[in-house]
Amino acid sequence: MSLSELYQEVMMDHYAHPRNCGTLENPDASWELHNPTCGDLIKVEVALEPGDKQSERVVKDIRFSGQGCSISQASASMMTQLVKGKRLSEAREVLERFLSMMKGEDGDFESLGDAQALQGVTRYPVRVKCATLAWHAFEKCTGRLAEGDE
Amino acid sequence: MNPLVAGLNRVGARQLDTERIKKDFPILNTKIRGKSLVYLDNAATTQKPIQVVNALSSYYLESNANVHRAIHDLGARATELYEGARERVAGFIGASKPSEIVFTRNATEAVNLVAYAWGRRNVGPGDEIITTPMEHHSNLVPWQQLAGATGARLRFIDLTPDGRLDMESFYRLLNERTRLVAVSQGSNVLGTINPVAEICRAAREAEAVVLVDGAQSVPHMPVNVASLGCDFLAISGHKMLGPTGIGVLYGRADLLEAMDPFLFGGDMISYVHLETAGWNEIPYKFEAGTPNIAGAIGLAAAIDYLEGLGMEQIESHERQLVKLAMHRLGELGYVEMHGPAGDRAGLISFNIKGIHPHDVATVLNEEGVAIRAGHHCAQPLMEWLNVPATNRASFYIYNDEEDVDRMVQAITRVKEFFRHVIV
């Protein structure tokens, strides 16, 4: 495992040119997470298309903001790209697949697109938290939204 | 030899023989990602010399028994070693008697002991506690809690733009309501050495008590509680070659006498009835339960090792290294260093514009160089510096110029690696 495998080009591209970076005016859900080991902070905001059942509503827009290292910022960018346009139930599947990959589990992660580039992070255990920060913030958002279905 | 260091040597004290010292630290031969280890995270914890590890193992293999209670010889031997360690610590920091030395788990517990056992009894509504924005969380959060529980108010000494205490601000804050001043002697982020003796003098006139956090100073320079004039001093064992799990609270005997215990149980009592109990003498009334006997013995061995080198020599060695490192990092032109430029402790915090400290530390690790990246348990100071985190290189007795070179080289690699994303 070399540094260039960790810091793959696609990841550096997301870091240098983050997608969906910013804030939303009227999000349906938002969540802020700190990484206590480094003081990093990521906020994820989600806006949904109208719909009756929460889990079937489509992620109309999603933004992230805050500060962090290349891995956490790139990962946030990839996450927003992946879940935008998906129904919440599908977005949750993506989330679970990503977290499974970051745990080092076997599986087919092709559907994760650019985010597959983060698989190398599992070889640097202390950085896994950086890679999963935005995903956990999104998980909190979906949890908050799912309360509407109960 | 680097001319900068050669110039310093002429005025410096006897040099540390780092080549010989390194031999006492087998861990320094470890390979990290195929490269030899350069350990520059000493402010977090230091490595342990063979002498300390041997003291631990010979205690367990030859003298292990519980202290203060056994009739048998082995118990007497363990007690003698444990109490000998207390005497060793007392001598090391110039305490007037061993009973002023309380063994704790770490410096954090030492501060908490004072916050509970002294604070709850001596601080009340409207009283003031003076501290600083450069404290480690362990010398801040206990005071926040004490203030919250008693209705006291926390006051903070301003910092100068280069990260020193603004002493005029301290004198403005100090008044008849001040009950306590809690201040670190050395900053774990800025490397600032604070004028603790001056603070103690002024506080004494104002009849305030001073707790000095010595976690970053006692391992690195001569510290004498009598000449400082402090009332309490918190010490961390593992930051000065000792084992983890052992710390020290020095407390002035009359203050310790007047304090209630902090933890209750075995060994801290003089008698127990079903409904009541009386307390043992100091320092035992603050050491409930079986203490970290091996840890105290290991700490005494660490002190032997440090004194064998000389605390003044250690201080001068680190200052030379930090001066060289600051000079070399300054030459790079893209490294922003925090803290005072002049006299300072043997650590440097820095940021590289556009590159997060985690990324810097990951690349350095790939080169075998271990530094710290994060907020260093000093989040309010990160806010003051206006950065989310910093990199920190901290030096100790086994570090040398080559270690500085390896770090600087690794930093140039960071810059190269991230050249496309730096704005």
Specify the CATH number for the domain of residue A56: 3.90.1010.10
Pairing assessment for the beta strands A40-48 and A59-67 based on DSSP bridges: antiparallel
Pairing assessment for the beta strands B335-338 and B347-352 based on DSSP bridges: antiparallel
Put residue B265 in one of left, alpha, beta given phi > 0 → left and psi -120 to 50 → alpha. Answer: left
Interface check B189 vs A, CB under 8 A: no
Average pLDDT, chain B: 94
Contact A97, A107 (CB under 8 A): yes
DSSP annotation of A65: E
A69: nearest Cα among A121, A122, A5: A121
Compute how many other C-beta atoms are within 10 angstroms of the C-beta atom of residue B269.
16
**Nearest-neighbour CA in chain A from B369: distance (Å):** 14
Task: State yes or no: is B200 an active-site residue.
Answer: no
Nearest by CB: B382 against A39, A69, A130: A39
Q: Which of B167, B377, B382, B387 is catalytic?
A: B377
Q: What angle (nearest 5°) sits at the alpha carbon of residue B20, between those of residues B18 and B23?
A: 105
CB contact under 8 A, A16 and B421: yes
Phi, psi at B356, each rounded to 5°: -65, 140
CA–CA distance, B39 with B190 (Å, rounded to integer): 19
* b/e map B216-240, b = 16+ CB within 10 Å: bbbbbbbbebeebbbbbbbbbbbbb
**Can you read off the two tokens belonging to residue B167?**
């002493």
CB contact under 8 A, B388 and A39: yes
Q: What is the pLDDT along chain A (150 residues), one digit of tens a residue?
A: 578 888 888 999 999 999 999 999 999 999 999 887 777 889 999 999 998 888 899 999 999 999 889 999 999 999 999 999 999 999 999 999 999 999 999 999 999 999 999 998 998 888 899 999 999 999 999 988 887 665
**Nearest-neighbour CA in chain B from A92: distance (Å):** 28
CB contact under 8 A, A38 and B382: no
**Can you read off the two tokens belonging to residue B228?**
């400082």
Q: Where are the domains of chain B?
A: 3-32+310-417, 52-308
CB contact under 8 A, B359 and A71: yes
Query: Architecture of domain B3-32+310-417 in CATH?
Result: Alpha-Beta Complex (3.90)
| Amino acid letter for position B94 | G
Nearest by CB: B421 against A12, A67, A68: A12
Interface check A118 vs B, CB under 8 A: no
Domain housing A65: 3-149
Percent of chain B predicted with pLDDT > 70: 96
Task: Give B418's contacts in chain A (Cβ within 8 Å).
Answer: 70
CA–CA distance, B67 with B85 (Å, rounded to integer): 13
CA–CA distance, B94 with A134 (Å, rounded to integer): 51
A80: nearest Cα among A96, A97, A99, A60: A60
Phi, psi at B221, each rounded to 5°: -155, 160
Span B239-278, pLDDT tens digits: 999 999 999 999 999 999 999 999 999 889 899 999 999 9
Reported confidence tier of residue B17, pLDDT bands at 50, 70, 90? very high
CB contact under 8 A, A39 and B389: yes
CA–CA distance, B75 with B232 (Å, rounded to integer): 31
Pairing assessment for the beta strands B277-279 and B31-32 based on DSSP bridges: unpaired
Query: Does residue B421 register a pLDDT over 90?
Result: no
Give the B window 50-89 contacts with A, CB below 8 Å. none
**Nearest-neighbour CA in chain A from B359: distance (Å):** 6
In DSSP terms, A49 is beta-bridged to: none
Nearest by CB: B358 against A3, A16, A69: A69
Interface check B363 vs A, CB under 8 A: yes
Contact B163, B132 (CB under 8 A): no
Task: Give A124's contacts in chain B (Cβ within 8 Å).
Answer: 362
The position carrying tokens 């013995």 is: B297
Task: Give B356's contacts in chain A (Cβ within 8 Å).
Answer: 68-70
Number of H helices, E strands in chain A: 5, 3
Interface check A38 vs B, CB under 8 A: yes
Task: Give B373's contacts in chain A (Cβ within 8 Å).
Answer: 38
Q: ipTM of this predicted complex?
A: 0.82
Say if B3-32+310-417 and B52-308 have the same CATH topology: no
Contact B328, B408 (CB under 8 A): yes
Nearest by CB: B358 against A3, A41, A127: A127
CATH class of this structure's domain B52-308: alpha beta
CB contact under 8 A, A70 and B356: yes
**Can you read off the two tokens belonging to residue A98?**
């990503």
Output the 3-class SS for chain B. CCHHHHHHHHHCCCCCCHHHHHHCCHHHHCEECCEECEECECCCCCCCCHHHHHHHHHHHHHHCCCCCCCCCHHHHHHHHHHHHHHHHHHHHHCCCCHHHEEEECCHHHHHHHHHHHHHHHHCCCCCEEEECCCCCHHHCHHHHHHHHHHCCEEEECCECCCCCECHHHHHHHCCCCEEEEEEECECCCCCCECCHHHHHHHHHHCCCEEEEECCCCCCCCCCCHHHHCCCEEEEECHHHCCCCCCEEEEECHHHHHHCCCCCCCCCCEEEECCCCEEECCCCHHHCCCCCCHHHHHHHHHHHHHHHHHCHHHHHHHHHHHHHHHHHHHHHHCCEEEECCCCCCCCEEEEEECCECHHHHHHHHHHCCEECEEECCCCHHHHHHHCCCCEEEEECCCCCCHHHHHHHHHHHHHHHHHCCCCCC
Span B60-84, pLDDT tens digits: 999 999 998 888 999 999 999 999 9
Interface check B359 vs A, CB under 8 A: yes
Mutation to test the A interface, candidates B353, B356, B363, B416, most A Cβ within 10 Å: B356
Contact B190, B221 (CB under 8 A): no
| Amino acid letter for position B218 | V
CB contact under 8 A, B362 and A124: yes
Reported confidence tier of residue B9, pLDDT bands at 50, 70, 90? very low
Span B133-154, pLDDT tens digits: 999 999 999 999 999 999 999 9
Q: Kindly report the pTM of this predicted structure.
A: 0.91
**Can you read off the two tokens belonging to residue A56?**
């079937």
**Nearest-neighbour CA in chain A from B112: distance (Å):** 22
Task: Give B352's contacts in chain A (Cβ within 8 Å).
Answer: none
Interface check B375 vs A, CB under 8 A: yes
Mutation to test the A interface, candidates B189, B358, B364, B423, most A Cβ within 10 Å: B358
CA–CA distance, A27 with A29 (Å, rounded to integer): 5
CA–CA distance, B186 with B164 (Å, rounded to integer): 10
Interface check B288 vs A, CB under 8 A: no
Mutation to test the A interface, candidates B421, B422, B423, most A Cβ within 10 Å: B421
Whole-number CA gyration radius for chain A: 15
Q: How many domains does chain A have?
A: 1
Of B419 and A89, the structure prediction assigns the larger pLDDT to A89
**Can you read off the two tokens belonging to residue B218?**
């006692």
In this structure, of A81-85, B105-109, B313-317, B379-383, the range with the lowest mean pLDDT score is B379-383
The position carrying tokens 């707790």 is: B211
Interface check B166 vs A, CB under 8 A: no
In DSSP terms, A31 is beta-bridged to: A44
Nearest by CB: A3 against B355, B363, B373: B363
User: What Å distances lie between residue A17 and A76, A113, B413, CA to CA?
Assistant: 12, 17, 22
Find the largest Cα–Cα distance for chain A.
49
**Can you read off the two tokens belonging to residue B20?**
């010989």
